[in-house]
Structure 1
Amino acid sequence: MHTPTRTWILAAVGDLVLILVFAAIGRDAHARGDIVTGAFATAWPFLVGGALGWMIARAWRKPLAIRPSGLLIWLAAVGVGMLLRAVTGQTVVIPFVIVALLSLGTFLLGFRVVAGATLRTLAQRQRRD
């Protein structure tokens, strides 16, 4: 059974994992060495942005909603992430911004679409039983 608390915790963990996966895929694609610790080094600006997006959207209220939660988390993850990368001397180039927008959008919004549909299906099955 899904409680509101359990749902937002699972959504927050899902966002965290997906941002780390994004960073790990990027590091692996560019042969940047240690994928595990390197993924954290690459991911931290996006994680900070995602956390800020959670706070702005108050996403714990509707963590699987595309609007506003998913959109704000996604855009904050990319926007703040790129800003933090720039101020800390990390690479920020247009192709990377585009890849981050597309990848994190697919991950963070797609996750919400799949999770929401799954929960709706489970709820319908429970009502029938």
Structure 2
Amino acid sequence: MAFVIDVAFVLIFVLVGRRSHGETAGFTGLMTTLWPFLVALIAGWLVTWAWRRPLAVVWPGIPIWLMTVALGMLIRTSAGQGVQPSFIAVAFVVLGAFLVGWRLVAMPFVRRRALRRTA
């Protein structure tokens, strides 16, 4: 479920970004923008073994965020897509808020459920 939430937030980031720049909402354009970040997100999940503790913030949440941004930008550059410093900054902030933020919001609920199991 956590992976699906991460994918959804990356998709929201791409959709909002494309819309704010007046780009078309077509499938091809969407996928062109999405795939570098999706590949980077998957790499982040694999490197951190995120499926073991998918809701944890420090590990894997923060590394997933950083890899999604850094590797996503490297892939975009390699694919000949534009990477401006302002785009990197926006991606860093927004994807951080999304990929780490939802885990922070979920943390009290996860802890409460864990406490109930041990009680």
Tell me the TM-score normalized by structure 1: 0.83
Tell me how far 1:86 sits from its aligned partner.
0.3
Match of 1:31 in 2: 22
| Residue in structure 1 matched with residue 46 of structure 2 by the alignment | 55
Deviation per CA, 1:64-107, whole angstroms, max 9, x where unpaired? Answer: 11112011110110111000100111010100000000000000
Match of 2:111 among 120, 123, 127: 120
Instruction: Sort the Cα spacing of 1:116 and 1:39 in 2 relative to 1 into closer, same or farther, 3 A.
Output: farther
Query: Residue deviations 1:16-68, cap 9 Å, x none?
Result: 00000000000010010116553332111011111101111111111111112
> Structure 1 pair 28/48, CA: closer, same or farther in 2 (3 Å)?
same
Structure 2 residue matching 1:34: 3-state secondary structure: coil
1:90 matched to 2:81? The reply is: yes
- The aligned residue for residue 71 of structure 1 is 62
Task: Pick which of 117-126 and 15-24 moved more.
Answer: 117-126
> When the two structures are aligned, how many residues end up with a matched partner?
119
CA RMSD after TM alignment: 1.9
Deviates more, 1:32-41 or 1:78-87: 32-41
Q: Residues 13 and 95 from structure 1, CA distance in 2 versus in 1: closer, same or farther, beyond 3 angstroms?
A: same
Q: Which amino acid aligns with 1:113?
A: L
TM-score when scaled to structure 2?
A: 0.90
Letter paired with 1:64: L
Equivalent residue letter for 2:65: W
For structure 1, list consecutive stretches of 5 or more residues without a partner in the other structure: 1-9
Distance 1:35 1:111, change over 3 A: farther
Q: 1:11 corresponds to which letter in structure 2?
A: A
User: Which stretches in structure 2 are left out of the alignment for 5+ residues?
Assistant: none
